[in-house]
């Protein structure tokens, strides 16, 4: 446990040293710049658009961090040959994989939390001094706490994407790992097409394969509640619980396989 | 060590070379900006050349935008706003305004032809995008050249909104409003006002508006009541300002009627039209040169007809309300 925590903290420190947190500055600039421009353009719907933009930016920035750091978590250590000195220490290989995963998750959590706080700050600024009549025309209040549900599921989705990236990085090159991870991210958002594949093809066998893939591949569309939250639609806690439970199972499965692959890997 | 390295760059000849490179870079950037300005001056880019929609299928865009469909909807809404504003400004800047697009036919004019597809895409990508339906309908229904002059498309867009959110009384009110104000179909308008009034949470005045519209059709007083209700309930400044402008237009219509009566009375007495407003002022028919609610003087023609000045911010005035004789179009 101690070794896992040490590795996780080290991954976080390394990401700070690699200036990963600089993306927060970019996020703030994008959001503040956009809020000014959109305020001039959108005829009273700036709050809705700022929420859309902020949530999408949290997701995109997080995705890039998850993929591009996730794919290097293991391969970087191998390339730099620092894996030899690490494994010579009293660290089990599963602890190494778990520590790496937890470290990147910590980085993502800090990023997402800061970006969410920046989004609320911009929304507070945009809604300051707005008349009550205008505020009533919004689908949801500007500082709607329900936004945190969308942010929470974005973080959970990013944790799943990180697990996918880490899984590929245990046995593949960074370039291929990135391609596979992005591929799964895209497929994961169109899984409903796989479910309804029988409507598009005549072959029952192809439909069965598609349906099988639908159940096996990560279903990322369920983490996307951005539009619901922005429009003030209720997102039941039961839905949140089931979705987070799904992610927990999938992440655990990926980590177990990653540990297994990494444990059997020969670095000679 | 690193502390020593930085000042070393700034010492002696190296500082000079860095400065020289920076100056050259700045000069080159200035040259590029100047050349671009010259090119735009000599070979101006075509006006509205960017008005193209490469993808018109909402299903395709939904696929392409993945988890970011709401953001894509925002993008199309902003584009629709810019397109509407740009086209309107361009048309209002023309001395000669092209013929309006034919009503109830497919859009054949290049002007505003992309407005409905853009709004349709925005509302398909985000079916709960309230403002795209409500403002979009105004842009579509508004008489040409201030808008597309297509109340039929405005109603189609709002009906799409009703299908997405059947309990949204605002869309039904807007459909009634489009029928009333732009299409002058008062029976359909009354039907939609009534339908909106039946939705729980709808304001009380919708029911009386439905009754008044059905009983009196396009009466100017009914129009005033409707615009006043819109002005008071408008949550967005733009909508409130538009309602205020409409109320001023109605006031101008009243003014013109009263002034015309005065001019007609003068003509009966004098046997000829007045030469100008000062003739009427001197004859003590009117106290001074009459101005519209936007403070622009009314025009008096040589034949003795009173008009709103073309330069008035209130021009053009809305079409006068008609009797209840429009074809029936009951709400679905």
A contacts of B135 (beta carbons < 8 Å): 43
- What pLDDT, on the 0 to 100 scale, is given for residue B327? 46
Contact: A230, B236; criterion CB under 8 Å: no
- The answer, for B63 touching chain A at a CB cutoff of 8 Å, is yes
DSSP string, A46-73: HHHHHHHHHHHHHHHHHHHHHHHHHTHH
pLDDT over 90 for what percent of chain B?
25
Assess whether pLDDT exceeds 80 at residue A250: yes
- Residue of chain B minimizing CA distance to A51: B71
Nearest by CB to residue A52, choosing from B70, B131, B237, is B70
- What pLDDT, on the 0 to 100 scale, is given for residue B320? 61
Pick from A79-93, B106-120, B188-202: least confident: B106-120
Average pLDDT, chain B: 81
- What pLDDT, on the 0 to 100 scale, is given for residue B105? 43
Residue B70 C-alpha, separation from nearest chain A C-alpha, in angstroms: 6
Residue labelled with tokens 């508004």: B142
Beta strand extents in chain B (DSSP E only): 299-300, 306-307
Assess whether pLDDT exceeds 60 at residue B182: yes
Asked whether the beta carbons of B206 and B195 are under 8 A apart, the reply is: no
Can you tell me the mean pLDDT for A193-217?
A: 80
Nearest by CB to residue B81, choosing from A43, A131, A186, is A43
Residue A190 C-alpha, separation from nearest chain B C-alpha, in angstroms: 8
Contacts of A50 (CB under 8 A, 6+ apart): A31, A34, A35, A38, A119, A122, A123, A126
- The answer, for B78 touching chain A at a CB cutoff of 8 Å, is yes
Nearest by CB to residue B71, choosing from A45, A52, A139, is A52
3-state DSSP: chain A helix, strand, coil percent, rounded to 5?
A: 80, 0, 20
- The answer, for B236 touching chain A at a CB cutoff of 8 Å, is yes
Contact: B69, A227; criterion CB under 8 Å: yes
Tell me which range, A238-247, B134-143, B265-274, is most confidently predicted by mean pLDDT: A238-247
- The answer, for B291 touching chain A at a CB cutoff of 8 Å, is no
Can you tell me the mean pLDDT for A202-214?
A: 83
- What pLDDT, on the 0 to 100 scale, is given for residue A41? 67
Interface test with A, best of B67, B169, B238 (most A CBs within 10 A): B67
**Residue B119 belongs to domain spanning:** 51-165
Contact: B78, A227; criterion CB under 8 Å: no
Residue A183 burial (C-beta neighbours within 10 Å; 0-12, 13-18, 19+): exposed
B contacts of A31 (beta carbons < 8 Å): none
Tell me which range, A201-210, A244-253, B45-54, B235-244, is most confidently predicted by mean pLDDT: A244-253
Nearest by CB to residue A43, choosing from B63, B129, B131, is B131
Contact: B67, A41; criterion CB under 8 Å: no
Q: How far is CA B112 from CA A42, A191, B319, in A?
A: 18, 38, 21
Nearest by CB to residue A230, choosing from B70, B82, B131, is B70
Can you tell me the mean pLDDT for A242-266?
A: 91
Contact: A133, B234; criterion CB under 8 Å: yes
- Residue of chain B minimizing CA distance to A232: B128
Asked whether the beta carbons of A191 and A88 are under 8 A apart, the reply is: no
- Residues B52, A216: Cα–Cα separation, whole Å: 41
Please give the torsion angle defined by the CA atoms of residues A79, A81, A87 and A93, in that order, rounded to the nearest 10 degrees: 0
Can you tell me the mean pLDDT for A88-107?
A: 89
Can you tell me the mean pLDDT for B144-152?
A: 86
- What pLDDT, on the 0 to 100 scale, is given for residue B260? 92
- What pLDDT, on the 0 to 100 scale, is given for residue B152? 92
Domain spans of chain A, in order of start: 2-264
- Residue of chain B minimizing CA distance to A191: B66
- For chain B, what is the domain count? 2
Which of B164, B226, B216, B220 shows the shortest CA–CA distance to B193? B226
| B148 and B252 in a common domain | no
Q: pTM for the whole thing? A: 0.74
Pick from A23-27, A61-65, B38-42, B317-321: least confident: B317-321
pLDDT over 90 for what percent of chain A?
37
Contact: A56, B81; criterion CB under 8 Å: no
Contacts of B23 (CB under 8 A, 6+ apart): none
Higher-pLDDT residue of A198 and B244 is B244
- Residue of chain B minimizing CA distance to A47: B74
Contact: A231, B128; criterion CB under 8 Å: yes
- Residue of chain B minimizing CA distance to A233: B128
Average pLDDT, chain A: 86
Q: What is the pLDDT of residues B60-111, one digit of tens each?
A: 888 888 888 888 998 899 888 888 888 888 777 665 555 544 444 444 445 7
Assess whether pLDDT exceeds 70 at residue A195: yes
Which of B263, B266, B181, B258 shows the shortest CA–CA distance to B226? B181
Phi and psi dihedrals of B40, rounded to 5? Answer: -70, -30
DSSP 3-state of A86: helix
Residue B72 C-alpha, separation from nearest chain A C-alpha, in angstroms: 9
Can you tell me the mean pLDDT for B197-217?
A: 82
- Residue of chain B minimizing CA distance to A56: B68
- What pLDDT, on the 0 to 100 scale, is given for residue B108? 41
- Residues B178, B170: Cα–Cα separation, whole Å: 12
Q: What is the pLDDT of residues B215-249, one digit of tens each?
A: 777 677 777 877 887 787 776 677 778 888 888 98
Q: Does residue B180 fall inside a structural domain?
A: no
**B95: how many CB neighbours lie within 10 A of its CB?**
4
- Residue of chain B minimizing CA distance to A137: B235
Dihedral sign for Cα B207, B212, B213, B219, please.
Answer: negative
**Alpha helices, DSSP H, located in chain A:** 2-17, 22-41, 46-70, 72-79, 82-88, 93-127, 132-137, 147-169, 174-189, 191-195, 204-216, 226-230, 237-264
- What pLDDT, on the 0 to 100 scale, is given for residue A262? 87
Contact: B69, A137; criterion CB under 8 Å: no
- Residue of chain B minimizing CA distance to A39: B78
Can you tell me the mean pLDDT for B56-62?
A: 82
Tell me which range, A83-87, A188-192, B138-142, is most confidently predicted by mean pLDDT: B138-142
Cis bond before residue B145 (omega within 30° of 0): yes
Can you tell me the mean pLDDT for B20-43?
A: 86
- Residue of chain B minimizing CA distance to A226: B70
A contacts of B137 (beta carbons < 8 Å): none
DSSP bridge pairs for B297: B291
- What pLDDT, on the 0 to 100 scale, is given for residue A89? 81
B contacts of A183 (beta carbons < 8 Å): none
Q: Which residues of A touch B (CB under 8 A)?
A: 38, 41-45, 48-49, 52-53, 56, 59-60, 131, 133-134, 136-137, 139, 186, 189-190, 220-221, 224, 226-227, 230-231, 233
Asked whether the beta carbons of A220 and A191 are under 8 A apart, the reply is: yes
Interface test with A, best of B64, B70, B86, B168 (most A CBs within 10 A): B70
Q: What is the pLDDT of residues A127-162, one digit of tens each?
A: 887 777 777 778 888 899 999 999 999 999 999 999
- Residues A30, B321: Cα–Cα separation, whole Å: 49
Contact: A48, B235; criterion CB under 8 Å: no
Higher-pLDDT residue of A96 and A34 is A96
- Provide the 8-state DSSP code for B276: S
Q: What is the pLDDT of residues B151-171, one digit of tens each?
A: 999 999 999 999 999 999 989
Band of pLDDT at residue B11, cut at 50, 70 and 90: low
Higher-pLDDT residue of A215 and A19 is A215
């Amino acid at each position: 446990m101690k070794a896992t925590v040490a590795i996780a903290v080290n991954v976080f420190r390394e990401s700070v040293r690699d200036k990963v947190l600089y993306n927060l500055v970019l996020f703030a600039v994008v959001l503040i710049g956009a809020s000014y421009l959109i305020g001039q353009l959108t005829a009273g719907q700036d709050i809705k658009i700022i929420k859309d933009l902020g949530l999408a930016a949290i997701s995109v920035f997080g995705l890039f961090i998850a993929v591009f750091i996730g794919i290097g978590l293991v391969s970087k250590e191998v390339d730099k040959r620092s894996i030899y000195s690490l494994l010579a220490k009293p660290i089990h290989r599963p602890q190494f994989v778990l520590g790496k995963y937890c470290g990147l998750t910590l980085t993502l959590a800090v990023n997402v939390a800061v970006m969410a706080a920046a989004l609320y700050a911009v929304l507070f600024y945009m809604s300051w001094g707005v008349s009550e009549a205008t505020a009533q025309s919004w689908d949801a209040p500007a500082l709607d706490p329900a936004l945190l549900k969308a942010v929470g599921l974005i973080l959970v989705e990013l944790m799943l994407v990180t697990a996918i990236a880490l899984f590929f990085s245990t046995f593949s090159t960074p370039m291929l790992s990135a391609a596979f991870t992005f591929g799964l991210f895209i497929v994961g958002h169109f899984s409903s097409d796989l479910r309804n594949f029988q409507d598009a093809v005549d072959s029952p066998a192809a439909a069965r394969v598609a349906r099988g893939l639908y159940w096996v591949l990560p279903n990322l569309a369920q983490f996307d509640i951005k539009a619901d939250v922005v429009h003030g639609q209720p997102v039941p806690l039961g839905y949140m619980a089931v979705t987070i439970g799904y992610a927990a199972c999938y992440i655990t499965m990926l980590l177990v396989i990653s540990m297994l692959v990494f444990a059997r890997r020969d670095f000679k | 060590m690193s502390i020593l390295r930085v000042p070393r760059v700034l010492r002696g000849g190296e500082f000079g070379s860095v400065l020289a490179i920076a100056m050259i870079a700045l000069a080159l950037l200035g040259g590029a900006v100047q050349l671009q300005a010259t090119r735009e001056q000599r070979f101006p880019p075509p006006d509205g050349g960017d008005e193209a929609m490469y993808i018109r299928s909402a299903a395709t865009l939904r696929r392409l935008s993945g988890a970011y469909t709401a953001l894509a909807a925002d993008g199309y809404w902003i584009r629709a706003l810019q397109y509407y504003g740009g086209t309107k400004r361009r048309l209002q800047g023309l001395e000669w305004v092209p013929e309006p697009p034919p009503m109830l036919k497919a859009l054949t004019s290049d002007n505003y032809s992309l407005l409905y597809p853009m709004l349709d895409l925005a509302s398909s990508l985000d079916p709960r995008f309230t403002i795209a339906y409500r403002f979009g309908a105004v842009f579509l229904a508004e008489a040409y050249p201030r808008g597309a002059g297509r109340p039929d498309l405005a109603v189609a867009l709002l009906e799409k909104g009703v299908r997405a959110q059947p309990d949204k009384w605002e869309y039904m009110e807007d459909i009634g409003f489009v029928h009333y104000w732009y299409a002058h179909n008062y029976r359909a308008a009354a039907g939609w006002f009534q339908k909106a009034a039946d939705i729980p949470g709808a304001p009380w005045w919708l029911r009386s508006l439905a009754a008044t519209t059905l009983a009196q059709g396009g009466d100017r007083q009914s129009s005033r009541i409707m615009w006043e209700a819109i002005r008071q309930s408008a949550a967005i400044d733009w909508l409130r300002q538009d309602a205020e402008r409409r109320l001023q237009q109605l006031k101008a219509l009243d003014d013109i009627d009263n002034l015309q009566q005065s001019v007609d009375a003068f003509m009966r007495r004098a046997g000829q039209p007045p030469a100008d407003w000062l003739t009427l002022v001197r004859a003590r028919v009117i106290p001074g040169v009459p101005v519209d609610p936007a403070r622009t003087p009314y025009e008096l023609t040589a034949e003795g007809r009173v008009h709103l000045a073309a330069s008035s911010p209130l021009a053009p005035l809305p079409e006068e309300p008609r009797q209840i004789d429009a074809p029936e179009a009951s709400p679905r």
